[in-house]
Structure 1
Amino acid sequence: MQIQIAQTKEDFLKCFDVMQALRPHLTPELFLELLPKMKEENYSLLFIEENDKAVSACGFRYLTTLFDGRYIYIDDLTTLPEARGKGYAGALFDYVVEKAKEEGLKAVHLDSGHQRYDAHRLYLNKGMKIVYHHFRLEL
């Protein structure tokens, strides 16, 4: 299993279906419009592919806050339904955690929809703890 970093428009488009599985509102146009802006904010997109198509992806960025200093925040971690159960999301998660450790960071954070029970099982099995409630004001 090879973890790759999406760097080109072709790589991004390979990742579209897997990202849309998590973010159904995305269109290819919006996806390609947002990614350059996100990359300016230190967003990186990792992926694992089968048969020249991404089947699992993880988007993350570096953040710095007063409460936790510098850390990695995972924006997106998803696997296509037909590719689940093969350890792809776990491998991507482990890659990000190792990157954080190598860089001397003290934490990895993520938010997850309350209904994503399978994802929660993965995160808890990887040693994550539920420590916050995330609030949002839609405008």
Structure 2
Amino acid sequence: MNTNLESAFTIKELSTFDEMAANFELIRLLNPKMSREYYESLLPAMIGNHYKQVAVYNDQGAPVGVSGFWINTKLYSGKYIEMDNVIVAAAFRSKGIGKILCRWMERKAKQESCKCIMLDAYVSNKDAHRFYYREGFSIIGFHIQKDL
């Protein structure tokens, strides 16, 4: 069921290289140093690992929000959906697009019998932290990485 806000936009699940490659300009908002060539070089392996995206389009068909996602299973969480690179175009921030993406993920997670939704948010992205807290997320640990 779409809310009034959702009915003002088109929401589409994306599964092909071409559909996802078309979202590069949005992806670059969160990853400004990433080149189109690098993004497109990563997509085949990601798609091979069941990566998909969901995009929100305005009434002119332009993408205004996107989130990648994976469905997988971990010992500590069971089956989960992971939101990846949740991005909203600057002109559409604070207009409910992030909420649309979160609601879509909740519905998808329930359809897939997932036990939770998880995501990583950069430590420095305080606005994202506030948003996710309002959406019912909580911090349960640290994502720890060692560059090689």
Length-normalised TM-score, structure 1: 0.91
RMSD between aligned alpha carbons?
1.5
Residue 127 of structure 1: aligned partner? 136
Residue 48 of structure 1: aligned partner? 56
Residue 25 of structure 1: aligned partner? 33
- Paired amino acid for 2:19: D
Structure 2 runs not aligned, ≥5 long: 1-8
Deviations 1:62-93 (A, max 9, x none): 12111111111112101121221111111011
Q: How does 1:48-127 map to 2 (within 5 A)?
A: 48-50=56-58, 51-127=60-136
Q: Which runs of 4+ in 1 moved over 6 A?
A: none
Structure 1 runs not aligned, ≥5 long: none
Name which of structure 1's ranges 100-109 and 9-18 shifts more when overlaid on structure 2: 9-18
Give the % identical residues: 29
Name which of structure 1's ranges 25-34 and 5-14 shifts more when overlaid on structure 2: 5-14
Alpha-carbon distance, 1:136 to partner? 0.6
SS of match in other structure, 1:75: strand
